[in-house]
């Protein structure tokens, strides 16, 4: 007859039997499974407490079961704490982590995620006890935090769900949220250069400024510029090179 054949049926006794079997004993794995199975009603009960908050109940039960397994594996009866007192916060912690990690559309600090859950629970409790929707001062007093913290938590809760860019926003349904977003404007990339270009051009002499204007604003060739200015095309080329070098040095802060 093995340890499994004589294993007690109560949840507490199954844990005691598991603790009595040393690590490495072939019987330990089966005893562990039976202990977990015996405490599954507790995990399901805690999971149902958090249902109706946007997550499938089956997912919550699975998450609570993970928390239960962790509690069974880490429980030490020699510490003098009963298993339920140890398992409940462990399971609830796992469920809250699930909400933090899986249900937020935009990542926000964990403090705000936990604050949002606390505000949600307080809102439900106070609505029942007050017979009306609680105010910000009501929630702050219930949680023992400032009204500013409550407002911060409510603001952070906006990241809980995202709105699709395909959401219609006009009465006829022809305009979607995405249509209101601006497109990339490449002009911004050169705006700073344009601002700096004015003082840089002022550093050039009058002929250099005229040649640059004819070349880059008038779109004339070097030969056409030479005809207008009255110098050779080779001279125009040298002046252009000299003027552009000055501009680059000025824009780079070398002058």
Do 117 and 93 share a structural domain?
A: no
* Residue numbers of the domain that contains 142: 110-159
pLDDT, residue 143, reads: 92
Do 198 and 137 share a structural domain?
A: no
Give the span between the Cα atoms of 129 and 139, in whole angstroms. 12
pLDDT single digits (tens) 171-191: 676 776 566 665 665 665 566
pLDDT, residue 82, reads: 81
Of 80, 102, 124, the last residue of a domain is 102
pLDDT, residue 107, reads: 55
pLDDT, residue 166, reads: 62
Give the domain CATH number at 122: 1.10.10.10
pLDDT, residue 235, reads: 92
pLDDT, residue 189, reads: 59
pLDDT, residue 8, reads: 39
pLDDT, residue 64, reads: 92
pLDDT, residue 151, reads: 83
Give the span between the Cα atoms of 229 and 215, in whole angstroms. 12
| Contact predicate 165/175, CB 8 Å | no
Location of structure tokens 């022809």:
174
pLDDT, residue 121, reads: 86
pLDDT, residue 66, reads: 92
Residue 212, in any domain of the structure: yes
Segments of the chain scoring below 50 in pLDDT = 1-9, 106, 254-255
* Total domains in the fold of the chain: 3
Cβ burial 120-142 (10 Å sphere, 16+ → b, else e):
bebbeebeeeeeeebeeebbbeb
CA triplet 180, 184, 186: central angle to 5 degrees? 145
Give the domain CATH number at 72: 1.20.120.1810
pLDDT, residue 91, reads: 92
Cα–Cα distances in angstroms (integers) from residue 204 to residues 63, 83, 183, 243, in the given order: 72, 84, 37, 7
Residue 133, in any domain of the structure: yes
Torsion region of 25: left, alpha or beta (phi above 0 gives left; psi -120 to 50 gives alpha): beta
């Amino acid at each position: 007859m093995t340890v499994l054949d004589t294993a007690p049926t109560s949840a507490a006794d199954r844990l005691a039997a598991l603790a009595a079997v040393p690590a490495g004993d072939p019987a330990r794995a089966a005893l562990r499974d039976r202990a977990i199975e015996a405490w599954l009603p507790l995990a399901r009960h805690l999971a149902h407490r958090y249902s109706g908050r946007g997550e499938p109940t089956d997912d919550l039960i699975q998450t609570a079961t993970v928390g239960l397994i962790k509690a069974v594996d880490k429980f030490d009866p020699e510490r003098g704490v009963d298993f339920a007192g140890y398992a409940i916060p462990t399971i609830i912690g796992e469920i809250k982590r699930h909400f933090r990690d899986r249900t937020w559309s935009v990542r926000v600090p964990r403090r705000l995620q936990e604050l949002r859950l606390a505000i949600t629970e307080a809102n439900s409790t106070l609505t029942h006890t007050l017979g009306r929707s609680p105010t910000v001062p009501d929630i702050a007093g219930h949680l023992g935090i400032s009204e500013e913290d409550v407002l911060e938590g409510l603001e952070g809760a906006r990241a809980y769900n995202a709105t699709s860019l395909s959401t219609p926003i006009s009465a006829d349904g022809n305009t979607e949220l995405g249509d209101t977003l601006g497109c990339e404007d490449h002009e911004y990339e050169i705006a700073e250069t344009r601002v700096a270009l004015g003082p840089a051009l002022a550093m050039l002499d009058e002929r250099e400024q005229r040649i640059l204007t004819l070349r880059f604003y008038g779109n004339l060739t070097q030969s056409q510029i030479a005809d207008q200015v009255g110098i050779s095309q080779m001279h125009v080329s040298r002046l252009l090179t000299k003027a552009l070098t000055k501009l680059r040095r000025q824009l780079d802060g070398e002058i």
